[in-house]
């Protein structure tokens, strides 16, 4: 599972890193004024890299996929993650897997580790050893609200996304039984290409990343409260000890 992560890199930097040609729908925000989110939570707007009409774009999507057939967008709160093993089968995800795949950038993410003898779990922060960004595999969808109109008189649309998860690698298995799929750069074109309908080949990309690429350390339980935010949340903290 991936239920909380860090998005500290500015949109302009993300665009350069992922080769994005346009910041779709986002107002300009000078890099020196950009304030990152160190406690990204479900239902918030999250940066998403995707393709449309052959162009690679960066936008903010609602985290929690809302299928096009949904009667209520609140269903998205239950769809923040999608299991890699069943993407082609699940009614909620199979259309997006076939035609609407995306990348969700992250500077790191949190998982909670059980501690023997304690009810509260120890939050852990995970990041790339080399300090680079994670490129989480994701799916996106567009939900249309026929009952509300925008300023142009058209039905309102909600763009939403979900993070694909897979079995954990050896390092993450010590903390959780799932992990986000982390796409290496040489797979980005294949994953984002909306003309690519080879689902078997795409499925082969959805595997655990090597354990040696990831570092992990304990952080303060302040991250448990989504209202807490700031760079201090990723600082290493004294771990809760067993007993």
User: Cα dist. 218→110, 235, 238 in Å?
Assistant: 9, 8, 7
What pTM value is reported for the model?
Answer: 0.93
- The secondary element (H helix, E strand) that includes residue 22 is strand 22-23
Q: Is 222 part of a structural domain of the chain?
A: yes
Q: Is 241 part of a structural domain of the chain?
A: no
Largest CA distance in the chain: 62
Q: Can you tell me the distance from the alpha carbon of 175 to that of 202, in angstroms, rounded to the nearest whole number?
A: 27
Q: Is 173 helix (H, G, I), strand (E, B) or coil?
A: helix
Residue with tokens 């939570």: 41
For residues 125 and 159, the answer to whether their CB atoms sit within 8 Å is no
**Is 2 known to be catalytic?**
yes
Check the CA dihedral 202-206-210-216 and report its sign: positive
Out of 51, 111, 141, 161, pick the active-site residue: 111
**Is 111 known to be catalytic?**
yes
Residue 25, domain extent: 5-234
Encoding tokens for residue 77?
């709160």
Question: What was the pLDDT predicted at 178?
Answer: 96
Q: pLDDT 10s digit of each residue in the chain, 243 long?
A: 799 999 999 999 999 999 998 787 665 555 556 789 999 999 999 999 999 999 999 999 999 999 999 998 999 999 999 999 999 999 999 999 999 999 999 999 999 999 887 888 999 999 999 999 999 999 999 998 766 656 665 667 899 999 999 999 999 999 999 999 999 999 999 999 999 999 999 999 999 999 999 999 999 999 999 999 999 999 999 887 655
Encoding tokens for residue 228?
């807490």
Exposure of 151 by Cβ count < 10 A (0-12 exposed, 13-18 middle, 19+ buried)?
exposed
Out of 2, 102, 161, 166, pick the active-site residue: 2
Q: How many distinct structural domains can be found in the chain?
A: 1
Question: What was the pLDDT predicted at 191?
Answer: 98
Question: What was the pLDDT predicted at 239?
Answer: 84
Q: What is the CATH number of the domain that holds 78?
A: 3.90.1680.10
Q: Is 180 part of a structural domain of the chain?
A: yes
């Amino acid at each position: 599972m991936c239920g909380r992560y860090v998005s500290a890199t500015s949109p302009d930097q993300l665009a350069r890193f992922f080769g994005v040609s346009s910041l779709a729908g986002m107002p300009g925000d000078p890099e020196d004024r950009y304030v990152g989110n160190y406690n990204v939570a479900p239902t918030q707007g999250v940066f998403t890299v995707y393709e449309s009409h052959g162009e690679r774009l960066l936008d903010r999507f609602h985290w929690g996929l809302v299928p096009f057939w949904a009667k209520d967008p609140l269903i998205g709160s239950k769809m923040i993650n999608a299991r890699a093993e069943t993407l082609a089968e699940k009614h909620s995800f199979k259309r997006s897997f076939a035609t609407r795949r995306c990348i969700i950038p992250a500077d790191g993410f949190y998982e909670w580790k059980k501690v023997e003898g304690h009810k509260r779990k120890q939050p852990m922060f995970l990041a790339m050893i080399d300090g680079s960004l994670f490129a989480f595999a994701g799916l996106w969808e567009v939900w249309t609200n026929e009952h509300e109109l925008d300023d142009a008189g058209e039905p309102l649309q909600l763009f939403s996304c979900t993070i694909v998860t897979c079995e954990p690698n050896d390092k993450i298995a010590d903390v959780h039984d799932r992990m986000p799929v982390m796409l290496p750069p040489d797979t980005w074109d294949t994953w984002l290409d909306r003309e690519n309908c080879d689902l078997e080949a795409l499925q082969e990309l959805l595997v655990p990343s090597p354990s040696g690429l990831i570092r992990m350390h304990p952080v303060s339980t302040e991250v448990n409260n989504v209202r807490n935010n700031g760079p201090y949340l990723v600082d290493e903290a004294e771990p809760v000890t067993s007993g």
